[in-house]
């Protein structure tokens, strides 16, 4: 047993007072959770401490909070780990971000999170005719969507989504991961319609800025950003959906830019995203970006030489990477539940090459635990 | 005042399935839950759902396994209904989107489970309950026009009219503290079990026996309440569930000598004997000094014998639990487990349509006792129970609503309940014990005396303590004086529900002077079919005291026989 100090963010909407911090000392073994610490404080000292919680085992998704500034489930975060990430040996617990606070650590999930979930038509639009028995589906497809199905709707990713902070209307990581759960599901009949509507929404698919915050935040390894990128790859590469937000074009321009230059040539990226320097759509955007370019020049971030004459060309290694990836017959996607090989690999999976078709799921080594960031395919 | 044909209390699998079925049958439906629906405890069900869908399987085999698992206390007519309707129900779930794992042919894959003679458990990795619950919630969103949702509303009372018919509920909106009377032609209780009567338990903090106590107080009967399931593999550290799917995938149980001790107790089924048998075996090993861990109170579950790739694909959640809550990589080393409270077979007595003794009041899921689980529930039969009897309750209630006018009710009960809440809030601080102390004492008492092994002396102590705690709960004080999210006052009301549930469990366990299923009396170690092949039924007497009666066990095709695994 050891003593830990919890610094809880308290807010009582009925008091007319602002939110404040309150310290409680709790006595628990170091591997016990922050939630257990809070529950001990509530049991022994103050029953009015508000926090949603139920299962205590990281499956119900109730106790999303920020611990030392980082989104997490209180039940999944050990006290010793929380001490290690604290600034001054005191564990700070506050409500999640991007959602209004109702009381203490309880936020209004309905006003933000659930509203966004409902916006992505979150139910199966089943292919007709519905079979008498089950739909026949490749095993890897079901394992693949299980990663987004593993989302427990805790809101941790929503809490710290930077794009949502800037654009509160952004559909956001949890709802987009939910969308992938249907787009990746071969039983759904409306993949293209779903993707089109997400792509055409100016607060939708292409609003994500790849900041990885949601990947770090997710307590279940759902990898929301990864699901968003998969939606984009299917929308842009497979279905060739050209959205009015220039999202798909921007992605293609980005890839082409790197292929050409090895590192990003920003002066080309912007016009290329709008169809090239001479494209009528590009001009207003380029003029519009001038103030930002001038500011960057004043601060020495760019020089006229760099803007106009990009000195880099893609190296042999970069070209080899593109060749390797573009030469694949099938795109490999990483997935937490699909583990292609490990030390006791028993050879190729039984289902390989047996005629099960329509598989977008690739194989990654998901053996690392946590988010699927481990190495690529076989 | 809201008014609906069918009002469902609880939004786990049973409640959501009931809501969708009633709406489909044309009823106006509302579903109410004290937590957001996806937080319901069904979310924690891991291993899967049983159905005889394989070509070489037959629902009668499933039914026989269930009867045998129940130690012949299950009602066989109800078991036949559950098992014969299972395949259709699982296929329905597949059709609406549950991401069941597939075999190489693309069909539903099936895994082995305890007490089953064949592989018949469909699954989604080891998050089957979560996947099913979230998919049903998707359907609630889809059918928002016909199913009204009251999320985070806490039911304080069932409303009865002058003739004792249930005509609605009183509830409090957690967020605002506002009270509301809900009129309904039918109320379906689907509010789950009462595992919080025990500490530790695999059950969530919300499993406080609300529906059991509400129905009991309204005049319904409770049945099989002595039958409390201890799951064989709960984490030694804190009582969290390690899915039976682990043993289904081939994991071994080992004692301190490294022996697969199940060979002594169940030489044929080994680790996949029914849960009561495995839990008792573990407890015996522990009591005889062959336990492991610092206090010798655990045994090892060795999952390393399962290929690592398969673990990562099919047992992902317990990889997380091992890592997060025990610091163990289950793919590389054994993990310490012990029997822990997991499920109550008993509950509100219903017929096969979910009807209770109170007209207009239905119950389905863990809150109910049909009885399909009898003395011991088979793994992966609880999800099935919730869906089959949730659906049947919803359909029956919708049909009953057709012929009834909307009842007229007053706000009298609302005023009583509001006054009750105010009086709890007004109790003087320091005037009694803290609610949390009483809950702690209740939980540790039940886990000590009403556990795997029981005897008259221990049960007597437990009853005395439960009754003292009830006295003390009358003056127990809380800290929160507010209206917004006053979880403190709801906790005080839940304590009352827990004490009612616990009392019925202890009274039933004292009454049953034999050993059957989960009830093992060291002072009556044998099964006694002559005297005890019957259900113990408990209802509230005139002064609120428990009154015992009996109900026969329905036997169709399978007369009682010796039970061996």
pLDDT along chain A (378 residues), means of 10: 96 97 96 96 97 96 98 96 95 98 98 98 97 96 93 98 97 98 98 97 96 96 95 95 91 92 86 83 84 87 73 89 90 68 40 33 34 31
Which two three-digit tokens encode residue B458? 């221990």
Choosing among B13, B34, B91, B97, which should be mutated to test the A contact, i.e. which has the most A CBs within 10 A?
Answer: B97
| Model pLDDT, residue B406 | 97
> In angstroms, rounded to a whole number, what is the distance separating the alpha carbons of residues A148 and A161?
17
> In angstroms, rounded to a whole number, what is the distance separating the alpha carbons of residues A140 and A145?
9
Which residues, 6 or more positions from B149, have their beta carbon under 8 angstroms from its beta carbon?
B11, B30, B31, B37, B140
Strands (E), A68-114: 70-73, 91-94, 101-103, 106-107
CB nearest B130 (choices: A62, A122, A152):
A152
The percent helix, strand, coil of chain B (3-state, each to 5) is 40, 20, 40
Mean pLDDT of B121-145: 97
Lowest mean pLDDT among A38-42, A355-359, B139-143, B292-296: A355-359
Distance from CA of A105 to the nearest CA of B (A): 11
Which two three-digit tokens encode residue A327? 């030469």
Mean pLDDT of B132-152: 98
Cross-chain residue pair A48–B35, CB shorter than 8 Å: no
- Reference B70, options B438, B385, B523; nearest CA is B385
CB nearest A339 (choices: B41, B312, B484):
B312
> In angstroms, rounded to a whole number, what is the distance separating the alpha carbons of residues A234 and B39?
32
| Model pLDDT, residue B475 | 95
> In angstroms, rounded to a whole number, what is the distance separating the alpha carbons of residues B132 and A142?
14
A128 touching B (Cβ < 8 Å): no
On chain B, the residues whose CB falls within 8 A of the CB of A118 are 141
Average pLDDT of chain B is 97
On chain A, the residues whose CB falls within 8 A of the CB of B149 are none
Widest Cα–Cα separation across chain B? 68
| Model pLDDT, residue A307 | 67
Lowest mean pLDDT among A206-215, A241-250, B208-217, B223-232: A241-250
Which residues, 6 or more positions from A300, have their beta carbon under 8 angstroms from its beta carbon?
none
Mean pLDDT of B76-86: 98
| Model pLDDT, residue B376 | 97
Chain A from 294 to 353: CB within 8 A of any B CB: 336-339, 341-346, 350-351
Which tens digits make up the pLDDT trace of B376-396? 999 999 999 999 999 999 999
Which tens digits make up the pLDDT trace of B525-562? 999 999 999 999 999 999 889 999 999 999 999 999 99
Cross-chain residue pair B104–A48, CB shorter than 8 Å: no
| Model pLDDT, residue A337 | 67
| Model pLDDT, residue A359 | 39
**B373, B74 contact by CB (below 8 A):** yes
- Reference B312, options A344, A186, A173, A55; nearest CA is A344
Q: Is the peptide bond prior to A129 cis by the omega test (within 30 degrees of 0)?
A: yes
| Strands B166-173 and A64-67, sheet pairing | unpaired
Chain B from 102 to 131: CB within 8 A of any A CB: 102-109, 124-125, 127, 130-131
On chain B, the residues whose CB falls within 8 A of the CB of A350 are 104
A146 touching B (Cβ < 8 Å): yes
| Strands A2-10 and A91-94, sheet pairing | parallel
Choosing among B130, B175, B196, which should be mutated to test the A contact, i.e. which has the most A CBs within 10 A?
Answer: B130
Which two three-digit tokens encode residue A371? 């988010």
Rounded to two decimals, the pTM is: 0.93
| Model pLDDT, residue A288 | 87
Using CA atoms, how far residue B440 sits from A50, A53, A301, B345, B498, in Å, is 20, 18, 62, 23, 12
Residue with tokens 């036949």, as numbered in its chain: B80
Cross-chain residue pair B35–A109, CB shorter than 8 Å: no
Which tens digits make up the pLDDT trace of B265-291? 999 999 999 999 999 999 999 999 999
Which residues, 6 or more positions from A17, have their beta carbon under 8 angstroms from its beta carbon?
none
Using CA atoms, how far residue B381 sits from A95, B46, B112, B228, B541, in Å, is 38, 12, 13, 15, 33
> In angstroms, rounded to a whole number, what is the distance separating the alpha carbons of residues B546 and B528?
24
**B95, A130 contact by CB (below 8 A):** yes
Instruction: Tell me the percentage of chain B whose pLDDT exceeds 70.
Output: 100
Which two three-digit tokens encode residue B359? 């007209």
């Amino acid at each position: 047993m050891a003593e830990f100090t919890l610094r809880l963010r308290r807010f009582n909407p009925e008091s007319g007072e602002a939110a404040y911090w309150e310290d409680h000392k709790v006595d628990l073994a170091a591997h016990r959770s922050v939630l257990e610490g809070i529950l001990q404080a509530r049991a022994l000292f103050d029953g009015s401490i508000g926090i949603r919680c139920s299962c205590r085992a990281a499956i119900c998704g109730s106790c999303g909070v920020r611990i030392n500034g980082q989104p997490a489930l209180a039940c999944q975060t050990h006290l010793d780990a929380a001490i290690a990430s604290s600034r001054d040996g005191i564990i700070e617990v506050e409500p999640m971000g991007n959602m209004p606070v109702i009381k203490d650590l309880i936020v209004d999930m309905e006003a933000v999170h659930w509203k966004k979930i409902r916006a992505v038509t979150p139910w199966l639009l089943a292919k007709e005719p519905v079979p008498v028995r089950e739909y026949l589906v490749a095993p890897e497809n079901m394992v693949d969507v299980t990663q987004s199905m593993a989302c427990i709707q805790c809101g941790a990713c929503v809490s710290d989504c930077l794009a949502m902070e800037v654009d509160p209307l952004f559909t956001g990581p949890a709802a987009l991961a939910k969308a992938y759960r249907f787009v990746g599901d071969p039983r759904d009949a409306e993949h293209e319609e779903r993707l089109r509507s997400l792509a055409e929404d100016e607060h939708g698919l292409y609003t994500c800025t790849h900041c990885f915050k949601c990947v770090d935040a997710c307590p279940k390894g759902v990898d929301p950003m990864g699901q968003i990128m998969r939606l984009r790859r299917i929308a842009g590469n497979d279905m060739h959906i050209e959205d009015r937000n220039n999202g798909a074009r921007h992605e293609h321009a980005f890839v082409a830019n790197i292929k050409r230059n090895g590192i990003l040539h920003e002066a080309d990226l912007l016009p290329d995203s709008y169809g090239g320097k001479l494209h009528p759509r590009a001009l207003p955007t380029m003029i519009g970006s001038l103030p930002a370019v001038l500011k960057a020049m004043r601060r020495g971030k760019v020089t006229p030489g760099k803007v106009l004459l990009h000195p880099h060309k893609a190296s042999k290694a970069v070209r080899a990477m593109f060749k390797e990836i573009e030469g694949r017959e099938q795109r490999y996607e990483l997935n937490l539940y699909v583990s292609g090989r490990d030390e006791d690999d028993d050879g190729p999976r039984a289902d390989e090459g047996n005629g099960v078709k329509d598989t977008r799921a690739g194989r990654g080594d998901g053996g690392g635990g946590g988010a699927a960031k481990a190495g690529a395919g076989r | 005042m809201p008014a609906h044909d069918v009002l469902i209390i609880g939004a786990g699998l049973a409640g959501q399935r009931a809501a969708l079925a009633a709406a489909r049958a044309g009823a106006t439906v509302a579903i109410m839950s004290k937590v957001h629906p996806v937080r319901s405890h069904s979310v924690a069900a891991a291993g899967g759902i049983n159905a005889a869908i394989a070509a070489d399987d037959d629902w009668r085999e499933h039914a026989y396994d269930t009867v045998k698992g129940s130690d012949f206390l299950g009602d066989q007519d109800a078991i036949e209904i559950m098992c014969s309707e299972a395949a259709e129900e699982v296929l329905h779930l597949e059709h609406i989107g549950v991401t069941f794992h597939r075999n190489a042919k693309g069909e539903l894959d099936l895994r082995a489970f305890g007490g089953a003679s064949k592989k018949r458990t469909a699954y989604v990795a080891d998050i089957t309950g979560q996947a099913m619950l979230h998919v049903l919630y998707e359907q609630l969103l889809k059918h928002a026009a016909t199913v009204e949702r009251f999320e985070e509303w806490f039911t304080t009372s069932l409303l009865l009219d002058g003739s004792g018919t249930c005509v609605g509920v009183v509830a409090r909106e957690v967020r605002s503290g506002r009270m509301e009377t809900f009129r309904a032609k039918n109320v379906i209780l689907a509010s789950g079990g009462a595992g919080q009567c025990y500490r530790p338990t695999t059950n969530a903090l919300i499993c406080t026996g609300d529906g059991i106590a509400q129905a009991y107080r309204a005049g319904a009967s409770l049945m099989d309440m002595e039958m409390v399931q201890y799951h064989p593999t709960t984490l030694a550290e804190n009582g969290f569930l390690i899915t039976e799917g682990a043993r289904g995938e081939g994991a071994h149980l080992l004692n301190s000598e490294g022996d697969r001790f199940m060979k002594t107790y169940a030489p044929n089924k080994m680790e996949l004997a029914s849960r009561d048998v495995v839990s008792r075996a573990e407890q015996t090993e522990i009591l005889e000094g062959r336990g492991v861990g610092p206090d010798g109170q655990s045994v090892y579950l060795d999952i390393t014998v399962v290929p690592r790739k398969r673990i990562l694909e099919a047992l992902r959640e317990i990889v997380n639990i091992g890592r997060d809550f025990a610091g163990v990589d289950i793919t590389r080393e054994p993990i310490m487990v012990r029997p822990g409270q997991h499920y109550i077979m008993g509950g509100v007595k219903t017929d096969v349509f979910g009807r209770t003794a109170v007209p207009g009041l239905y119950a389905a899921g863990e809150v109910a006792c049909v009885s399909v689980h009898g003395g011991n529930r088979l793994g992966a039969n609880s999800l099935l129970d919730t869906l089959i009897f949730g659906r049947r309750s919803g359909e029956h209630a919708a049909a009953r609503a057709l012929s009834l006018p909307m009842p007229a009710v007053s706000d009298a009960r609302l005023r009583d309940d509001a006054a009750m809440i105010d009086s709890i809030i007004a109790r003087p601080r320091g005037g009694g014990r803290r609610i949390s102390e009483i809950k702690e004492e209740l939980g540790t008492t039940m886990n000590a005396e009403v556990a795997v092994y029981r005897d008259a002396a221990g049960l007597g102590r437990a009853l005395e303590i439960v009754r003292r705690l009830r006295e003390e709960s009358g003056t127990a004080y809380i800290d929160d004086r507010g209206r917004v999210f006053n979880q403190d006052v709801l906790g005080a009301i839940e304590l009352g529900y827990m004490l009612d549930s616990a009392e019925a469990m202890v009274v039933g366990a004292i009454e049953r002077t034999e050993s059957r299923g989960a009830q093992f009396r060291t002072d009556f170690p044998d099964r006694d079919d002559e005297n005890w092949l019957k259900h113990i039924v408990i209802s509230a007497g005139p002064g609120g005291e428990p009154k015992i009666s009996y109900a026969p066990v329905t036997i169709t095709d399978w007369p009682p026989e010796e039970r061996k695994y």
